[in-house]
């Protein structure tokens, strides 16, 4: 008799760049795939993003950045998440992120990085497959 | 069970992760969550529960942000539950209200949680009530419940509140009449936000007029106040009125209201439990399917089938009782 | 109502000839086409432009029979400027090849500028980093990781001194992509001119200074809408009085398009913004002919080739009409829509990036056939990283090949008279005008912003575009068709050294110690008063930057007076 579990997801834009086209398109696609989406808006600090993930008890944190500051900001976010015990949340990266940075990002706990041209379905499929494992 | 115990202990200590997890449990598995909520129940009843509702574009979220800042100045701990509609087609939802309060998100004494309606009005009303209990038990002094619009389900949700604030704004167009019609009866305080706009005074007069048409039996006459949340004007006054309303409740009707709320909640719980258990049983025994097939074969119709079923069960209920 | 005989007079085609064509067309449509289609079906059931304008199988004289040549097309250099702003167009002067650039510290960008000038570029164009754009100093906590990343970091006059070291301002024109803090950057440029001894009348260039489109699309806003428009108007007024060669504003559709709008929305929203700025300047007491000639525009060149050319032609015609009919401008130059065009960044793909060279080539060809005054071509590696020097060179060469090898520059507006193109130009104007009327009826642009109108329109279009790609209704080569296993990237991607941030922050902190702090504070206090009294702030801001007050400090003063922008989120 339990209600069907919903995937809850934060779509966040850390850093100062304001290219939110991708983040918004993806937020809509997540909603249309039946997820509950919290879109944070621009200019979020790592603290705000992590606290949102905690209070909203999300399954996924999807980070979008196009300014090139991902190597500074992503590690801050994953570190904070670890400190707060948010170990069961899937963290994804998207935006303009050079291939050569991806191994380092995976090492710090970014589960996957989705570049431009990635179909939204690919990301949705990845989320559905990988959130079942953790919860 | 151990998990439940851990959650309950966490909530009582005000641990934010435990609060979050308990609310998730309430949303996903009300049956299991009931164990936690029952344990928390004795610790509830301390928080002032404020319902805030109003149409999209009235600036509710900004107003709430400013109201919470005001509450924080007085060192009140605040919980917020923001309810957003789920899409009836996909079941997905944008939980958009917290965005506008994002500045509050790193304040350790403020807890914001978004909830989607999940297309189950009854379920949602229950889930919101339980989530409010969690925040109440966790030690929040004030719990704010925010909803959009004035549908019956929103009205049901907002009934959890001691004080209901209805937020409107001038120039929202034709919707406003319909909205007001649905909200006039539930509001304890009316706010005309975006009062720096033209026609703000007209909106106030408009609401006053509608209030005058209402009954004069109640001792509390809902005040109408103007705010401009973006400029932080009028929020202190709003808080003042909210507190006055609480004083009024305590003096005049608090016990009656509490008794009423308890009764409503009990009746709803009974309704839900009985329906759930009957349907579960019918499903288990295959009777539901059998009747469905009979309906499909036009041997009976849904209403006669339900009558026949309930007759049996009600008889049993009476003899057992 | 136009009478029949008058209408006939206006027609480009002879009526008898036209009815013969109609007869033949009927035959073609009812006989020839169905016979052919029965054996060779068409690729799609219907064809549309990016703005969902229906594209017919064939355009004939019938489609443009109502065109009045002198009224609707006219001659180059004469109203309504459909065929071009100048009498000889590219037979005389080519467009300005202007490549937007800037990264790292002012020193690095100065080196890049000198390289570009040597390579034959004729105008400089500065990209600023996010902290600068948002009015934050390089040492602000939010700036961490962002300094010098997507443009050059500028916090004070010191940085601009380095940026223009060895570049005489009377020999170049400079375009600055800056909006919120545009007053400050222009003030710094003026200060450098003063130092170099260049008279203010000789300073040439453009400040983007279009804050409204930030609310619709780019969201790099510092202040709420109304004070933002006030600052824009300060520059418009100051330039009208003191900098006759400066384009105070570049009213931009580019960002609206990049954020996801279609071509019609891009055009309509840009013109609506333009109307708002004109109204604001008129309220200031300026005369329309006093400032209108210096207004300039900035559009995107996207993939749908014919629609884009139609957009540029319709834009000129529509603006001329608006200036003449709505604002009663009398000088021909007030009716000019001078435009800068940039190829579309969001059409570039990360997969098979070399294909982007071809996209950029077609897009820039559309810009040239559309009669642009200035062009930036994107680099093919932009979906992967900031452009590398080699990729920037290919982009610039693309323009040079169009200019010197294709021959399209040898005659003016060569596609005019095309049944299809003229029809699309008409449709573009018509549909944009519908939007402008709608915006007027909702109380203008600022009211539309408050209602979330623009953001919603743009987000809807962006989502539609993405879905079309995913459903393969729209083909994107190398992405949803013709994908390959292994990509070929013929260059090394540019990496910005993290060191830039440290150098920049160090330099700024040294400056804050060594400058005359009392003087800086005094001017900031003066600015506070000026802002409260609603004066034109340009003179005081020039004073402030000369006292080495930083952009962050100046913006803080203004934030105090005007309040801060709060993002209105519409998904």
Q: How confident is the model at residue A85 (pLDDT cuts 50, 70, 90)?
A: very high
For A10, the enclosing helix (H) or strand (E) is strand A8-12
| Chain A contact probe: residue of B14, B35, B80, B102 with most A CBs at under 10 A | B102
Local confidence band at A135 (pLDDT 50, 70, 90 cut-offs):
very low
Kindly state the average pLDDT of the residues C24-50. 94
A2, pLDDT greater than 50: no
The whole-number average pLDDT for the span C249-278 is 97
Which tokens belong to C233?
A: 């108007």
Q: What percent of chain B has pLDDT over 90?
A: 37
| Residue with token string 């006059």 | C157
Does the structure show a pLDDT above 50 at A1? no
**Alpha-carbon span B7 to A109, nearest angstrom:** 26
- ipTM for the predicted complex comes to 0.90
Average pLDDT over residues C281-309: 96
| pLDDT class of C8 with cuts at 50, 70, 90 | very low
3-state class (DSSP) for residue C291: helix
Q: What is the pLDDT of residues C438-497, one digit of tens each?
A: 999 999 999 999 888 999 999 999 999 999 999 888 899 998 999 888 888 777 877 766
CA geometry: angle at A46 spanning A42 and A52, to 5°? 80
Q: If interface means Cβ-Cβ distance under 8 Å, which residues of chain C face chain A? A: 130-131, 133-134, 136, 142-146, 149-150, 218-220, 258-260, 346, 349-351, 383-386, 459, 462-463, 466, 469-470, 476, 479-480, 493, 495-496, 567, 569, 571
Per-residue pLDDT tens over the stretch B128-183 = 999 999 999 999 999 999 987 656 777 777 778 999 999 988 876 555 565 566 67
Determine the pLDDT at residue B318. Answer: 67
Using DSSP, state whether A95 is helix, strand or coil: strand
Q: Give, for C238, the enclosing helix (H) or strand (E).
A: helix C225-242
Give per-residue pLDDT as tens, B224-266. Answer: 999 998 888 899 999 999 999 999 988 877 777 778 878 888 8
Q: Measured between CA atoms, how close is B97 to chain C, in angstroms?
A: 10
Question: What per-residue confidence (pLDDT) applies to B320?
Answer: 60
Q: Is C6 on the interface with B (CB under 8 A)?
A: no
Under 8 Å CB-to-CB from C1, ≥6 apart: which residues? none
| Of B95 and C528, more confident | C528
- pLDDT for the residue numbered B70: 93
Q: Residue range C55-81: average pLDDT?
A: 95
B98 touches C at CB < 8 Å: no
Q: Which of B100, B172, B229 to mutate to test the interface with C (most CBs of C within 10 A)?
A: B100
pLDDT value at C2 more than 50:
no
**Range of weakest confidence among C170-179, C317-326, C335-344:** C170-179
Residue to substitute from B105, B125, B284, interface A, most A β-carbons within 10 A: B105
Q: Which residue has the tokens 């559709």?
A: C253
Judged against a pLDDT cut of 60, whether residue B109 lies above it is answered with yes
Query: Is the bond preceding A68 in cis, omega lying within 30 degrees of 0?
Result: no
B205 has a pLDDT exceeding 80:
yes
Radius of gyration of the CA atoms of chain B, in A: 22
Largest Cα–Cα distance in chain C? 86
Q: Is the per-residue pLDDT at B321 higher than 60? A: no
**How distant is the Cα of C444 from the closest Cα of chain B, in angstroms?**
15
- Give the Å distances, CA to CA, from B266 to B89, B260, B272, C190: 32, 10, 10, 75
Contact of C322 with C304, CB cutoff 8 Å: no
Predicted local confidence at residue C3, as pLDDT: 42
Nearest-CB residue to A31 (from B21, B29, B94): B94
**Structure token pair of residue C516:** 């005359």
What is the average per-residue pLDDT within A127-135? Answer: 74
Quick one: pLDDT at residue B215? Answer: 62
Confidence of residue C354 (pLDDT cuts 50, 70, 90): very high
Query: Is the pLDDT at C549 greater than 60, yes or no?
Result: yes
Q: What are the distances in angstroms from CA C170 to CA A128, C162, C167?
A: 60, 17, 9
What pLDDT score was predicted for residue C11?
67
- Tokens standing for residue B298: 């036009």
| Cα distance between residue B28 and residue B39, in whole Å | 18
Helix (H, G, I), strand (E, B) or coil at A15: coil
Assign residue C82 a region: left if phi > 0, alpha if psi is -120 to 50, beta otherwise?
Answer: alpha
Look up residue B192 and give its two tokens: 């005309």
| Mean of per-residue pLDDT scores for chain B | 85
As a whole number, mean pLDDT of residues B90-105 equals 83
Residue whose tokens read 């059931």: C45
Least confident of A103-117, C78-92, C120-134, C306-320: C120-134
Which chain B residues are within 8 Å of C141, Cβ to Cβ?
none
pLDDT of C5 > 50? The answer is no
Cα distance from B320 to chain C (closest Cα, Å)? Answer: 56
pLDDT for position B44? 92
Q: Which of residues 77-136 of B touch A (CB under 8 A)?
A: 86-87, 90-96, 98-99, 102, 105-106, 111-114, 116, 118, 120, 123
Interface test with B, best of A51, A82, A83 (most B CBs within 10 A): A51
The single residue listed with the structure tokens 């295959």 is B286
Superfamily designation of domain B46-252: P-loop containing nucleotide triphosphate hydrolases (3.40.50.300)
Residue B113, pLDDT score? 95
State how far the Cα of A36 lies from the Cα of A49, in Å rounded to an integer.
16
Q: Mean pLDDT across chain C, nearest whole number? A: 92
We find that the CATH architecture of domain A8-134 is 3-Layer(aba) Sandwich (3.40)
More confident residue, C397 or C489: C397
**Ranges of each domain in chain A:** 8-134
pLDDT at B209: 82
How many angstroms separate the CA of residue C548 from the nearest CA in chain A? 25
Cross-chain residue pair C563–B231, CB shorter than 8 Å: yes
pLDDT of the residue at C484: 87
Top mean-pLDDT range of B73-87, B209-223, B285-299, C296-310: C296-310
CB B101 within 8 A of CB B107: no
Residue A132 has pLDDT above 80, yes or no: no
Distance to chain A for B205, nearest Cα, Å: 37
* Chain segment C46-62, per-residue pLDDT in tens: 999 999 999 999 999 99
- A3 vs C79, more confident: C79
The neighbours of chain A, by the rule of 3 or more Cβ pairs under 8 Å, are B, C
pLDDT digits (tens, 9 = 90+) for B2-46: 889 999 999 999 999 999 999 999 999 888 999 999 999 999 989
Asked if B317 reaches chain C (Cβ–Cβ under 8 Å), the answer is: no
Q: Which residue has the higher pLDDT, C535 or C493?
A: C535
Interatomic CA distance for residues B318 and B297, integer angstroms: 32
**Omega before C521 within 30 of 0, i.e. cis:** no
- Say whether pLDDT at B92 is over 80: yes
Residue from the list A37, A48, A52 with its beta carbon closest to the beta carbon of B93:
A37
Chain B residue with Cα closest to A49: B105
Specify the range with the lowest mean pLDDT, choosing from A70-79, A109-118, B50-59, C452-461: B50-59
Of B57, B99, B230, the CB nearest to C569: B99
**pLDDT score of A3:** 43
Query: What pLDDT shows up at residue B31?
Result: 85
Q: Compute the 3-state secondary structure of chain C and give helix, strand, coil in percent, each to the nearest 5.
A: 55, 10, 40
pLDDT of residue C102: 66
Weakest mean pLDDT among C181-185, C448-452, C525-529: C448-452
Note whether B57 contacts C: Cβ–Cβ < 8 A.
yes
Identify the pLDDT of residue B15.
Answer: 95
Contact assignment for B94 to C571 by CB distance below 8 Å:
yes
Give CA angle at B250 (B246, B256), nearest 5°: 115
Q: Does B194 touch chain A (CB under 8 A)?
A: no
């Amino acid at each position: 008799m339990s209600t069907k579990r919903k995937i809850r997801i934060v779509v966040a834009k850390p850093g100062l760049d304001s290219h939110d086209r991708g983040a918004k398109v993806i937020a809509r696609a997540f909603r249309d795939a039946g997820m509950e989406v919290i879109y944070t808006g621009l200019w979020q600090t790592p603290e705000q993003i992590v606290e949102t993930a905690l209070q909203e008890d999300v399954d996924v944190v999807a980070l979008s950045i196009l300014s090139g500051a991902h190597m500074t900001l992503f590690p801050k976010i994953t570190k904070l998440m670890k400190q707060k015990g948010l170990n069961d949340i899937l963290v994804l990266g998207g935006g303009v992120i050079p291939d050569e940075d991806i191994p380092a990002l995976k090492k710090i706990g970014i589960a996957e990085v989705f570049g431009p041209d990635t179909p939204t379905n690919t990301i949705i499929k990845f989320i559905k497959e990988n959130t079942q494992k953790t919860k | 069970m151990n998990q439940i115990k851990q959650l309950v202990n966490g909530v009582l200590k005000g641990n934010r992760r435990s609060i979050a997890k308990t609310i998730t449990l309430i949303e996903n598995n009300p049956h299991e969550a009931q164990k936690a909520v029952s344990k928390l129940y004795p610790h509830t009843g301390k928080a002032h529960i404020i319902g805030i509702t109003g149409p999209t574009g009235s600036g509710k979220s900004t107003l709430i942000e400013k109201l919470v800042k005001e509450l924080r100045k007085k060192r009140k701990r605040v919980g917020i539950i923001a309810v957003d509609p789920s899409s009836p087609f996909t079941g997905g939802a944008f939980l958009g209200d917290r965005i506008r309060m994002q500045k509050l998100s790193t304040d350790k004494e403020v807890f914001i949680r978004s909830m989607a309606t999940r297309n189950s009005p009854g379920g949602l009303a229950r889930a919101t009530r339980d989530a409010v209990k969690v925040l109440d038990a966790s030690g929040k002094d004030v719990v704010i419940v925010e909803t959009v619009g004035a549908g019956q389900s929103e009205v049901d949700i907002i009934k959890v509140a001691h004080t209901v604030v209805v937020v409107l704004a001038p120039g929202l167009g034709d919707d406003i009449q319909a909205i007001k019609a649905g909200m006039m009866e539930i509001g304890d305080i009316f706010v005309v936000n975006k009062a720096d706009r033209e026609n703000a005074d007209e909106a106030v007069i408009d609401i006053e007029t509608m209030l005058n048409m209402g009954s004069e039996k109640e001792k509390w006459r809902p005040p109408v106040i103007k705010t401009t949340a973006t400029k932080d004007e009028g929020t202190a006054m709003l808080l003042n009125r909210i507190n006055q309303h609480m004083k009024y409740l305590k003096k005049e009707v608090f016990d009656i209201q509490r008794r009423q709320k308890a009764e409503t909640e009990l009746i709803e719980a009974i309704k839900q439990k009985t329906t759930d258990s009957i349907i579960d049983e019918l499903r288990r025994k295959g009777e539901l399917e059998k009747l469905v097939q009979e309906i499909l074969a036009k041997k009976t119709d849904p209403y006669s089938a339900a009558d026949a079923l309930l007759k049996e069960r009600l008889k049993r209920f009476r003899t057992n009782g | 109502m136009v009478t029949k005989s008058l209408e006939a007079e206006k027609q480009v085609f002879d009526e008898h000839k036209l009815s013969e064509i109609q007869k033949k067309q009927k035959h073609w449509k009812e006989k020839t086409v169905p016979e052919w289609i029965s054996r060779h079906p068409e690729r799609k059931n219907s064809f549309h432009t990016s703005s969902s304008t229906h594209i017919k199988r064939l355009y004939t004289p019938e489609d443009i029979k109502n065109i009045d040549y002198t009224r609707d097309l006219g001659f180059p250099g004469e109203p309504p400027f459909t065929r071009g702003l100048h009498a000889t167009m590219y037979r005389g002067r080519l467009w300005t090849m202007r490549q937007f650039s800037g990264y790292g510290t002012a020193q690095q960008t100065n080196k890049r500028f000198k390289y570009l000038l040597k390579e034959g570029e004729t105008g400089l164009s500065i990209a600023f980093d996010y902290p600068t754009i948002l009015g934050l100093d390089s040492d602000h906590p939010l700036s961490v990781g962002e300094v010098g990343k997507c443009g050059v970091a500028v916090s004070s006059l010191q940085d601009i001194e380095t940026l223009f070291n060895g570049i005489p301002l009377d020999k170049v024109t400079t375009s600055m992509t800056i909006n919120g803090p545009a007053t400050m950057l222009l003030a710094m440029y003026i200060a450098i001119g003063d130092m170099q001894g260049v008279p203010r009348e000789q300073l040439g260039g453009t400040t983007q200074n279009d804050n409204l489109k930030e609310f619709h699309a780019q969201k790099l806003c510092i202040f709420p809408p109304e004070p933002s428009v006030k600052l824009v108007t300060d520059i418009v007024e100051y330039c009208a009085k003191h900098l006759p060669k400066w384009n105070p504003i570049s009213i931009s559709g580019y960002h609206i398009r990049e954020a996801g709008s279609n071509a019609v929305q891009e055009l309509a929203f840009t013109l609506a913004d333009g109307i708002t700025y004109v109204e604001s300047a008129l309220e200031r007491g300026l005369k329309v002919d006093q400032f209108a000639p210096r207004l300039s525009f900035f559009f995107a060149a996207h993939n749908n080739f014919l629609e884009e050319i139609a957009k540029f032609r319709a834009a000129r015609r529509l603006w001329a009409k608006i200036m003449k009919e709505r604002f009663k401008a009398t000088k021909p130059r007030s009716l000019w829509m001078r435009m800068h065009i940039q190829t579309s960044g969001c059409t570039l793909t990360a997969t098979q990036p070399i294909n982007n060279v071809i996209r950029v080539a077609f897009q820039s060809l559309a810009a040239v056939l559309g009669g642009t005054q200035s062009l930036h071509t994107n680099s093919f590696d932009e979906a992967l990283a900031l452009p590398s020097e080699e990729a920037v060179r290919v982009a610039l060469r693309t323009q040079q090949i169009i200019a010197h090898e294709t021959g399209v520059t040898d005659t003016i507006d060569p596609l005019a008279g095309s049944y299809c193109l003229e029809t699309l130009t008409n449709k573009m104007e018509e549909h944009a005008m519908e939007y402008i009327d709608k915006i007027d009826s909702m109380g203008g642009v600022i009211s539309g912003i408050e209602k979330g109108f623009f953001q919603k329109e743009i987000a809807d279009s962006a989502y539609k575009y993405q879905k079309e790609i995913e459903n393969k209704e729209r083909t994107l080569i190398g992405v949803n068709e013709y994908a390959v296993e292994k990509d070929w990237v013929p260059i090394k991607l540019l990496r910005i050294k993290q060191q830039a941030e440290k150098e920049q922050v160090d330099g700024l902190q040294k400056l804050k110690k060594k400058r005359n702090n009392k003087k800086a504070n005094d001017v900031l206090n003066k600015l506070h008063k000026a802002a409260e009294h609603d004066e034109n702030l340009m003179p005081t801001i020039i004073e402030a930057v000369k006292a080495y007050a930083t952009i962050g400090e100046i913006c803080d003063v203004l934030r105090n007076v005007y309040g801060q922008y709060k993002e209105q989120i519409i998904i």
